[in-house]
């Protein structure tokens, strides 16, 4: 079977380095980002803010773009989806280690596919399903308090419990309120590691596209709030602004109903992942030959606009990082990643509301993988 794996060379600095380097800075230790000593660090995660979109709208984000250089770009994770990206940021390890390897993944014990953002229940407990210690837990070991600032609706969610363990959650509704909460923490804590979550860009992109007026308004709001916050940073305070993934706009005319081609769903028991990164889980009786046969079908039919590879190929190529044995079955037997401007949908799915999304992400393109790493305060030097 000829290999059609993407020729993706990830950069030396990754999203996994950001929060753990911030902690090392507070501890006075060397770190991957070469951050100098700080007593307090704020890491802003702007959901969906890819480098390409930020550069394309430079006039609407003058503060962030003024600090965006060739060296202030890092690679996110594969798949380029929120559950995988944020958890990599907060644990400092790749998806193959923390276990959130996609948007929807297989729970083998219960023979089902579970949404990693909203599907938490008694059968998928956040304290065990997410299997890595967080940077906040490691900070607590060093006597450094950790805080997570975000909208109130996420305070007690399963994903918050999985990805933000060890942090005290501080609810704040608007972007400006979140930065104000961060300023209060810096003013009242002698040392602090603060994570600040901004979902507004991602929400606007999914509903209206990243080229919409709604997305531009969200970007301008973030830029002005970040600029005001940065202007007030003290000598021992550092600020980093990054993202979990970028976004591309996919019109409805580029939706591919892959289930209408029988060869592409032959033997498929469950479908997980995102519209731009499918995880296909096969019937167990197909054995070891099943994934190779289905991958060949995808390559023959969709190879001109998607990468298709078996789980073994994905693991061997390092796309998920080092993969723990218990995480391995969560990855699809076959993984399909879009490389053209398309999104894959299953027309048999009873709920077709996802097809209203314009902004999409999940795959390996530069637009989806490359994210900014904006440095300010003591981290600027």
167-213 pLDDT per residue, tens: 999 999 999 999 999 999 999 999 999 999 999 999 999 999 999 99
- Say which CATH architecture domain 252-360 belongs to: 2-Layer Sandwich (3.30)
* CATH 2.60.120.380 for domain 16-100+117-247+364-380: no
**Sign, CA torsion 241/85/342/256:** negative
Is pLDDT of 3 > 60?
A: no
Task: Kindly indicate the confidence band of residue 11, based on its pLDDT and cuts at 50, 70 and 90.
Answer: confident
Predicted confidence at residue 9, as pLDDT, reads: 76
Residue 124, beta-bridge partner list: 121
Q: At what angle do helices 16-27 and 82-91 cross, to 10 degrees?
A: 20
Measured distance CA(306)–CA(332) in Å, rounded: 16
C-alpha 313: how far from chain center: 22
Q: With 0-12 CB in 10 A as exposed, 13-18 as middle and 19+ as buried, what is 141?
A: exposed
Question: Once rounded to an integer, what is the mean pLDDT over residues 220-236?
Answer: 98
Residues recorded for the chain: 381
Is pLDDT of 268 > 50?
A: yes
Measured distance CA(254)–CA(264) in Å, rounded: 18
Predicted confidence at residue 218, as pLDDT, reads: 98
Q: Judge if the upstream peptide bond of residue 294 is cis by omega within 30 degrees of 0.
A: no
Q: What share of the chain is helix, strand, coil (3-state, %, to 5)?
A: 40, 20, 40
Task: Kindly indicate the confidence band of residue 4, based on its pLDDT and cuts at 50, 70 and 90.
Answer: low
Mean pLDDT of the chain: 96
62-82 pLDDT per residue, tens: 999 999 998 899 999 999 999
Task: Kindly indicate the confidence band of residue 284, based on its pLDDT and cuts at 50, 70 and 90.
Answer: very high
Is pLDDT of 7 > 90?
A: no
Annotated domain spans of the chain: 16-100+117-247+364-380, 252-360
Is pLDDT of 355 > 80?
A: yes
Annotate 330-371 with DSSP letters as a single string. GS-SEEEEE-SS-EEE-TT-S--GGGG--EE--SSSHHHHEE
Predicted confidence at residue 5, as pLDDT, reads: 65
149-164 pLDDT per residue, tens: 999 999 999 999 999 9
234-254 pLDDT per residue, tens: 999 999 999 999 999 999 999
**DSSP assignment letter at 170:** E
Measured distance CA(79)–CA(321) in Å, rounded: 11
Q: Where are the alpha helices (DSSP H) in 283-344?
A: 289-302, 311-317
Measured distance CA(52)–CA(56) in Å, rounded: 6
Task: Give yes or no for a contact between 372 and 18, defined as CB atoms under 8 angstroms apart.
Answer: no
Task: Give yes or no for a contact between 51 and 74, defined as CB atoms under 8 angstroms apart.
Answer: no
Measured distance CA(339)–CA(279) in Å, rounded: 15
50-61 pLDDT per residue, tens: 999 999 999 999
Considering the entire predicted model, what is its pTM?
0.96
- Of residues 81, 19, 113, the one with CA closest to residue 320: 81
Task: Kindly indicate the confidence band of residue 351, based on its pLDDT and cuts at 50, 70 and 90.
Answer: confident
Measured distance CA(47)–CA(343) in Å, rounded: 20
What percentage of residues in the chain have a pLDDT greater than 90? 93
Is pLDDT of 2 > 60?
A: no
Task: Kindly indicate the confidence band of residue 12, based on its pLDDT and cuts at 50, 70 and 90.
Answer: confident
Strands (E), the chain: 40-46, 73-75, 104-107, 112-115, 146-150, 168-171, 192-198, 237-242, 248-249, 255-257, 268-274, 277-282, 306-310, 334-338, 343-345, 359-360, 370-372, 374-377
Predicted confidence at residue 1, as pLDDT, reads: 40
């Amino acid at each position: 079977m000829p290999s059609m794996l993407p020729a993706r060379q990830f950069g030396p600095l990754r999203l996994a380095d950001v929060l753990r380097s911030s902690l090392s800075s507070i501890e006075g230790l060397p770190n991957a980002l070469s951050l100098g000593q700080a007593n307090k660090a704020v890491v802003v995660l702007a959901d969906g803010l890819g480098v390409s979109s930020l550069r394309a709208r430079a006039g609407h984000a003058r503060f962030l773009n003024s600090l965006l250089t060739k060296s202030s770009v890092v690679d996110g994770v594969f798949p380029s989806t929120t559950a995988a990206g944020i958890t990599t940021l907060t644990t400092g390890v790749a998806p193959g280690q923390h276990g959130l390897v996609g948007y929807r993944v297989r729970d083998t014990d219960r023979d089902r596919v579970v949404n990693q953002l909203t599907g938490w229940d008694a059968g998928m407990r956040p304290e065990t399903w997410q299997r890595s210690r967080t940077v906040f837990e490691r900070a607590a070991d060093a006597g450094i308090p950790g805080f997570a600032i975000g909208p109130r609706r996420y305070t007690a969610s399963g994903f918050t419990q999985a990805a933000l363990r060890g942090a005290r959650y501080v609810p704040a509704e608007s972007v400006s309120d979140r930065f104000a909460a961060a300023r209060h923490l810096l003013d009242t804590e002698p040392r602090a590691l603060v994570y600040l979550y901004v979902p507004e860009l991602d929400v606007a992109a999914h509903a209206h596209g990243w080229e919409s007026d709604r997305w531009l308004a969200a970007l301008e709001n973030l830029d002005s709030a970040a600029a005001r916050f940065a202007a007030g940073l003290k000598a021992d305070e550092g600020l980093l602004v990054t993202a979990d993934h970028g976004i591309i706009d996919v019109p409805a005319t580029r939706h591919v109903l892959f289930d209408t081609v029988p060869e592409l769903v032959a033997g498929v028991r469950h479908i997980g992942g995102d519209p731009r990164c499918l995880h296909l889980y096969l019937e167990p009786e197909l054995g070891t030959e099943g994934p190779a046969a289905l991958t060949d079908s995808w390559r023959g039919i969709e190879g001109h606009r998607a990468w298709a590879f078996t789980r073994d190929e994905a693991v061997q190529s390092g796309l998920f990082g080092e993969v723990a044995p218990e995480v391995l079955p969560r990855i699809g037997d076959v993984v399909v990643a879009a490389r053209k401007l398309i999104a894959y949908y299953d027309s048999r799915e009873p709920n077709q509301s996802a097809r209203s999304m314009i902004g999409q992400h999940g795959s390996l393109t530069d637009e989806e993988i490359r994210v900014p790493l904006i440095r300010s305060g003591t981290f600027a030097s």
